[in-house]
Amino acid sequence: MSDYQNDGSGNDKKKPKNSGPQFPFGGPKLPDPKKFGGWRFSIVYILILVVGMSLFNYVFLNKVNPTIDFSEFKNKIVSGEIKRVEMTDSYFTGYTAAQKTVAPTPGLRNPYGSSPDAIFRTVPLNDPDIIKLMDEKGVSYYAVSREGSTVLNLIFSWVLPIAFFFFIWRFLMKRLGNMGGNVLSVGQNRAVIVAEGDIVTRFPDVAGVDEAKDELVEVVDFLKNPKKYTDIGGKIPKGVLLVGPPGTGKTLLARAVAGEAGVSFFRMSGADFVEMFVGVGAARVRDLFKQAREKAPCIVFIDELDAIGKSRLNNIAGGNDEREQTLNQLLVEMDGFDATSGLIILAATNRPDVLDPALLRPGRFDRQVLVDRPDLKGREAILRIHAKAVKLDPQVDLAAVARGTPGFVGADLANIVNEAALLAVRGGRQVVSQKDFEEAIEKTVAGLEQKNRIISDDERRIVAFHETGHALVAAFTPGSDPVQKISIVPRGFGALGYTLQMPVEDRYLMTEDELLGKIDVLLGGRAAEELVFSRISTGAANDLTKATDIARKMITDYGMSARFKNVALTQRGAGMMGGAAQEPMFHREYSEATQQYIDEEIARMVETRYAGVKDTLKQRRDLLDLVGAQLLEKETLDEKEFKGLIGQPVAAV
Ligand code: ADP
Ligand code: MG
Ligand code: ZN
């Protein structure tokens, strides 16, 4: 067996030096129990092995009959029961048949080539009389030399057990090596990493994620005409991170970028890099980039970046060396290549929150593209793409299907089209009908509900009016940033809906009125809920936190309260060096009584603002109902649609 290949990753001390079959149990590093099925299983394998070996020996190398006493053996000769005796160094074997007969399975049951007749076996004593006795009784006797059975002996006692071990070992390596990883070729890339040329996916194959597409069009242009950018001295981005929930089409988009640019496509999943042995993942990263540089211009796509890119800071108890090294290598490679070389790295994740901040620094994944769940129009477009592959009944209304699938992502919709086609086949129909679609939706919804990904109609109504509340208050609060988009499509990470406001200009200073306006907009969501439904929900928790925060800062930091006008109550200390959060530490420099005043003042301020906001909305109840209903139907409203609904907003810029 050859040595483990090290290619200078600098972790010699942990490198398994193996001569002879390398057994994974002695490996240098415990596998991650969750990942590889666990150490526990290895012990189970050992047990199976030991038991198997014993059985093997018992069945194949031992004669079936137990040994009998030498005296009994002699008696059986005297009584004439034994007619023939086979003698070896270790055993005398007596047979009841005088002639050797051929065993039905020669060599297996009785490896010494004996007959399957009744057999008596004994351990020989140095008894010179025995030969005489046998002569007297006419028993035929002969000795079998070990030579005669060497081959069989060898096979049974050596070759088979070794083969047995070998297969078990191979089996284990397969499991541990993450599907097909052979310990001998560890560190080299496996077939997965081959570049794909001639990608057929194009942007029109992806729908419902127009904003993401707009941003990626530019990436395609970088790949096609890098000179255009470098001539001016512009820097081409090296890494683009696609962020969004599973199934929204991140992988598809990455392929489309490669397809549109006509470059090769390297795809690897973050999980592929995470290996049992330290250094292997790093070696793979190195190899991947080496190959990619040779193939440039090309796209390297790392799916599930979070598998290697988890923040190193949160690693309590030492963390995972292997992953850390892999991540470091990735950072090194990303810093190492020249942006003009035509190599662009795309990565996808649905957990941007856990990524190591180092990955997001300039020169690495400094561009982030949100790939969000599709809205009504987007879902219809996605359905159209996938419906092209099936024969549709002309009656089918895909818009209706889209309306019935709020919260579904592209992968779910592709699945529904396929499911509907299967139902049609099962029903013996030639084309897919609307009913098939309805049934397919029902089936899928049940599955998604279990995963908690479907919001009920009631919840959607609440979210719609909540967001409308934010938007209306923003529109009617002078000096507030204009509303850019309102949406009730659940946004990636926790938010059930959102209202986007675009600041007109960069703000370094904010006036007291503007701060109060911000509080108003934040409170607008809950106020609308209360007005429309006469009850409030937990959906406003985040808004309230932010509103309270602003109110607190106004009192403690900006000196905007009645009692402590122009007094800053907190002292800014120096930030903690190198801390994860760069928040400076604040010292509280006031008494308990002041604290109580602050708390009361916050409550009073928020309450006053809330009453005002409710008033604003009450006066525009018709607009609230109108916009809310429209939002519920269309799921997203852009600036123009929103302004059209409410007439020209009062808010002047
Ligand atoms: P992700 O990588 O975001 O988890 P994928 O790109 O793997 O999602 O999507 C899985 C499949 O779902 C795709 O191959 C495609 O058939 C379908 N799909 C997902 N999103 C879209 C979309 N926006 N447009 C068209 N098809 C989509
Ligand atoms: Mg994917
Ligand atoms: Zn809100």
Distance of CA 517 to the CA centre of its chain: 42
pLDDT at residue number 203: 94
Among 203, 252, 416, which is best to mutate for testing ligand 1, by the most ligand atoms less than 8 A from CB? 252
Give the separation between CA 89 and CA 301, rounded to whole angstroms. Answer: 69
Same domain, 260 and 349: yes
pLDDT at residue number 282: 83
| Ligand 1 and 242: CB distance under 6 A | no
249 is in an annotated binding site: yes
For residue 348, the ligand 1 atom closest to its alpha carbon is 2
Quick check: 640 pLDDT over 70?
yes
Report the share of the chain in percent with pLDDT over 90.
29
**Do the Cβ atoms of 273 and 307 come closer than 8 Å?**
yes
Whether residue 15 is contained in a domain is answered as no
pLDDT per residue over 122-150, tens digit each?
Answer: 888 877 788 888 888 888 888 876 555 56
| Ligand 1 and 379: CB distance under 6 A | no
Same domain, 519 and 620: yes
pLDDT per residue over 51-104, tens digit each?
Answer: 777 776 666 655 456 688 888 888 888 888 888 888 877 788 888 877 765 544
| Ligand 1 and 348: CB distance under 6 A | yes
Separation of CA 512 and ligand 3 centre (Å): 22
Q: Name the helix (H) or strand (E) containing 641.
A: helix 639-646
Half-sphere exposure of 627 (CA within 13 A, CB side): 36
Q: Which residue has the higher pLDDT, 312 or 410?
A: 410
Quick check: 19 pLDDT over 50?
no
Same domain, 243 and 326: yes
Same domain, 291 and 437: no
**What stretches of 378-460 adopt beta strand conformation (E)?**
none
b/e sequence 68-94, b meaning 16+ C-beta within 10 Å: eeeeebbebbeeeebbbbbbeeebbbb
Structure tokens at 361: 């620094």
375 is in an annotated binding site: no
Query: Which ligand approaches the C-alpha of residue 270 most closely?
Result: 2
pLDDT at residue number 580: 42
Give the separation between CA 356 and CA 544, rounded to whole angstroms. Answer: 29
Quick check: 439 pLDDT over 80?
yes
Same domain, 101 and 202: no
Give the separation between CA 597 and CA 556, rounded to whole angstroms. Answer: 11
Q: Is the peptide bond before 297 cis (omega within 30 degrees of 0)?
A: yes
Q: Of 128, 162, 185, which residue is a domain's last?
A: 185
Same domain, 329 and 299: yes
| Ligand 1 and 267: CB distance under 6 A | no
Quick check: 112 pLDDT over 50?
no
pLDDT per residue over 167-183, tens digit each?
Answer: 888 877 766 654 444 44
Whether residue 23 is contained in a domain is answered as no
Residue 20 binned pLDDT confidence (cut-offs 50, 70, 90): very low
List the strands of the sheet with 367-370, edge to edge: 264-269, 298-303, 343-349, 239-243, 367-370
| Ligand 1 and 204: CB distance under 6 A | no
| Ligand 1 and 206: CB distance under 6 A | yes
pLDDT at residue number 171: 79
Query: Which ligand approaches the C-alpha of residue 350 most closely?
Result: 1
Quick check: 1 pLDDT over 80?
no
| Ligand 1 and 208: CB distance under 6 A | yes
Quick check: 503 pLDDT over 80?
no
Residue nearest to atom 25 of ligand 1 (CA): 206
Quick check: 576 pLDDT over 80?
no
**DSSP state, residue 188:** S
Residue 449 binned pLDDT confidence (cut-offs 50, 70, 90): low
Mean pLDDT is lowest, of 43-52, 291-300, 509-518, 533-542, for 43-52
Mean pLDDT is lowest, of 66-75, 248-257, 469-478, 545-554, for 66-75
Whether residue 21 is contained in a domain is answered as no
Structure tokens at 552: 């607190």
Whether residue 355 is contained in a domain is answered as yes
Same domain, 401 and 461: no
94 is in an annotated binding site: no
CA proximity to 411, closest of 649, 250, 647: 250
Residue nearest to atom 5 of ligand 1 (CA): 249
- The three state secondary structure string of 77-92 is HHCCCCCEEEECCCCE
**DSSP state, residue 540:** G
- Pick the most confident of 38-42, 52-56, 215-219, 649-653: 215-219
Same domain, 107 and 196: no
Residue nearest to atom 14 of ligand 1 (CA): 252
Residue 627 binned pLDDT confidence (cut-offs 50, 70, 90): very high
pLDDT per residue over 371-407, tens digit each?
Answer: 988 999 999 999 999 999 999 999 999 999 998 888 8
| Ligand 1 and 370: CB distance under 6 A | no
Separation of CA 528 and ligand 3 centre (Å): 10
Quick check: 496 pLDDT over 70?
yes
**Do the Cβ atoms of 424 and 403 come closer than 8 Å?**
no
326 is in an annotated binding site: no
Residue nearest to atom 6 of ligand 1 (CA): 249
Q: Which residue has the higher pLDDT, 213 or 493?
A: 213
Whether residue 494 is contained in a domain is answered as yes
Distance of CA 80 to the CA centre of its chain: 76
Whether residue 390 is contained in a domain is answered as yes
Query: Which ligand approaches the C-alpha of residue 527 most closely?
Result: 3
Q: Which residue has the higher pLDDT, 101 or 24?
A: 101
Quick check: 32 pLDDT over 70?
no
Give the separation between CA 609 and CA 601, rounded to whole angstroms. Answer: 12
**Do the Cβ atoms of 522 and 531 come closer than 8 Å?**
no
Looking at every residue in the chain, the average pLDDT score rounds to: 79
For residue 597, the enclosing domain spans 457-646
**Do the Cβ atoms of 562 and 553 come closer than 8 Å?**
no
What residues have CB less than 8 Å from 336, skipping those under 6 apart? 289
Residues with CB under 5 A from ligand 3 (ion): 525, 543
CATH of the domain at 419: 1.10.8.60
Same domain, 109 and 216: no
Measured between alpha carbons, how far is residue 335 from residues 160, 329, 555 in Å?
A: 53, 10, 45
Whether residue 326 is contained in a domain is answered as yes
pLDDT per residue over 186-200, tens digit each?
Answer: 444 444 566 777 888
Query: Which ligand approaches the C-alpha of residue 488 most closely?
Result: 3
Same domain, 78 and 171: no
The number of folded domains in the chain is 5
Q: Name the helix (H) or strand (E) containing 384.
A: helix 376-387
Give the separation between CA 623 and CA 644, rounded to whole angstroms. Answer: 11
Q: Of 339, 370, 401, which residue is a domain's last?
A: 370
Same domain, 441 and 301: no
For residue 252, the ligand 1 atom closest to its alpha carbon is 6
pLDDT per residue over 213-263, tens digit each?
Answer: 999 998 899 888 888 887 887 777 889 999 988 899 999 999 999 999 999
Catalytic residues: 467
Give the separation between CA 483 and CA 643, rounded to whole angstroms. Answer: 9
Whether residue 303 is contained in a domain is answered as yes
Map residue 452 onto helix, strand or coil.
Answer: coil
**Do the Cβ atoms of 207 and 258 come closer than 8 Å?**
no
Could you give phi then psi for residue 34, rounded to 5 degrees? -70, -35
Separation of CA 422 and ligand 1 centre (Å): 20
Residue 114 binned pLDDT confidence (cut-offs 50, 70, 90): very low
pLDDT at residue number 129: 80
pLDDT per residue over 159-170, tens digit each?
Answer: 888 888 888 888
What residues have CB less than 8 Å from 566, skipping those under 6 apart? 559
Same domain, 428 and 553: no
Long-range contacts of 331-339 (CB under 8 A, 24+ apart): 331/358, 331/359, 331/364, 333/285, 333/286, 333/289, 334/238, 334/239, 334/363, 334/364, 335/363, 335/364, 336/289, 337/238, 337/289, 337/293, 339/235, 339/236, 339/237, 339/238
* Percentage helix, strand, coil for the chain under 3-state DSSP, each rounded to 5: 50, 10, 35
233: left (phi over 0), alpha (psi -120 to 50) or beta: left
Q: Of 421, 445, 469, which residue is a domain's last?
A: 445
pLDDT at residue number 33: 40
